[in-house]
Structure 1
Amino acid sequence: MDSEIEDYFEPQSFDGAMKGARVGLGHYGIEADDEICTQVAVAVLTGFVVTGGLEPESLERLGDIVLRAAAAHLES
């Protein structure tokens, strides 16, 4: 596996994708367990590998959005 693909499956990337899935589904009132969030995270990260991922600026913005959404979810 080349290093570019490995980067998408680092624990931090996977954890972020799982949190993003949980918060995103929660936005629509869907409470998802770890199994569903894992499947969503794998699908998203696989899509990033296949398409070559997002530009660094987009990844930074996406990370910021996920953090803000998670913070809002915790406050509610």
Structure 2
Amino acid sequence: MEDGTKALDTKAASEICAFFHFWGMMVNKGYLPLWIFKSASGPSVVRLFHLLKPYIEERRKTNNHYYAIDFEYL
């Protein structure tokens, strides 16, 4: 990009969103305890969500209002 930052790899972003959406859905439905994400992986998941939030919001506007909703739940 012109400002010196790298462009978002949308394929990777989509795969990350799908991965954590699935795990969030498992927690939301009670198949996986939330405490698993209260370990060292928790802050990384939160950081990834905040990095991808603009991408997720854009996808929600154009494709699916519920895109990555369970990723957000985590």
Which bracket does the TM-score occupy, shorter chain normalised? Answer: 0.3 to 0.5
User: How high is the TM-score relative to the length of structure 2?
Assistant: 0.36
In terms of fraction of residues, the more helix-rich structure is 1
User: How high is the TM-score relative to the length of structure 1?
Assistant: 0.35
**Higher relative contact order (Cα pairs below 8 Å, separated by 6+ residues):** 2
